[in-house]
Amino acid sequence: MKEVSCNYCGSSDYKVIYGEKLSAVDDSWDFTCTNDHHGEHYRVVKCNLCGLFYSSPRPDGKNLEVNYNLVEDSNYKSEIEGRKKTFQRNLKNVLRFKIKGDLLDVGCALGVFLAEAQKKEWSVSGIEPSEWCVNQCRELFDLQDVVVGTYRNLSCFGRKFDLVTMWDVLEHLDDPLVALKNCADVLNEDGILAFSTVNIGSIYAKILGKRWPWLMKMHIYYFDKKTIRQYLKKIGFEILEIRQYKHTISADYLLYKLKRINKILYYTVVFIKRIIFLDRNIYLTVCMGDFMEVYARRIERTI
């Protein structure tokens, strides 16, 4: 565990927003994107200079990389149909800015987005820190140009891309500034960056405060629209759109999450699912406003 300064501006002047809340157990399960350890998090601070929220103290980058390399996420695999619906919507939004071309998905997980993009005639590549996930990309979707690596290794493909995506990835990284710079470096001129991330500045997050469920150990940075704009401007992106991000999930997955987050809502959804939907595993689109979807165009590097 180490104290860190602000990733955006380098300042060490911060105020504590939420004290740490950690369990005794610390393993790679905390770093699977479907884990249910909501409310367990490192201390969250806010930079007094630029307003960035981040975790400090926290594990160093090497420790995070080791944990993500060990990730095996069977819950994600069982939710592939919901992921397909989410990524089909994402792809529809992407197509407003780029029709087709070479695509790199950073943190591609099991390759669901890549598989959907390939159906739309994109040439797809992916990079993912989990060896298990990369093997799943090949087994489930026969995706061959997917490698084990992180945002630090994007140059390994030896070419540039028309579109770089990072879905629910940026908040997990130890150095989002370098990650965004590296994305810019592998984009063609006029290339598009598309990503989603948490929005701690949302009304929902502010109302819930320390009970906001996305305060989690796997989330190292907590962005809002202001800080995302600052990052993209600093690196040399023109922001095209920031919109609310929607996830489509199954009722069973929602129940799995609610059992830890809110017992009243959990039993309410159980009742609705059994009585109205006859216990069928239906799919729901969820949007509380606390995730944002960002589209930006590479123009020029300022740093």
Instruction: Parse the chain into domains and list their residue ranges.
Output: 14-246+287-298, 247-286
pTM of the model: 0.94
Q: How many residues are there in the chain?
A: 303
Q: Is the pLDDT of residue 269 over 80?
A: no
Model pLDDT for residues 229-260, shown as the tens digit of each residue: 999 999 999 999 999 999 999 988 888 888 87
* pLDDT, greater one: 26 or 288: 288
Percent of the chain with pLDDT over 90: 83
Percent of the chain with pLDDT over 70: 97
Q: Is the pLDDT of residue 196 over 70?
A: yes
- Secondary structure of the chain: what % helix, strand, coil (to 5)? 40, 25, 35
Question: Residue 10 — very low, low, confident or very high, per pLDDT cuts 50/70/90?
Answer: very high
- Dihedral angle, C-alpha 261, 265, 266, 272, nearest 10 °: -160
Q: What are the DSSP E strand ranges found in 168-278?
A: 187-198, 221-222, 237-244, 247-250
> What's the average model confidence in pLDDT over 206-210?
96
CATH architecture of the region 14-246+287-298: 3-Layer(aba) Sandwich (3.40)
Paired tokens of 98: 């780029």
Question: Residue 30 — very low, low, confident or very high, per pLDDT cuts 50/70/90?
Answer: confident
Give the lowest-confidence range in 24-33, 77-86, 280-289.
Answer: 24-33
* pLDDT, greater one: 269 or 210: 210
Among 89, 52, 99, 116, which Cα is nearest to 243's? 89
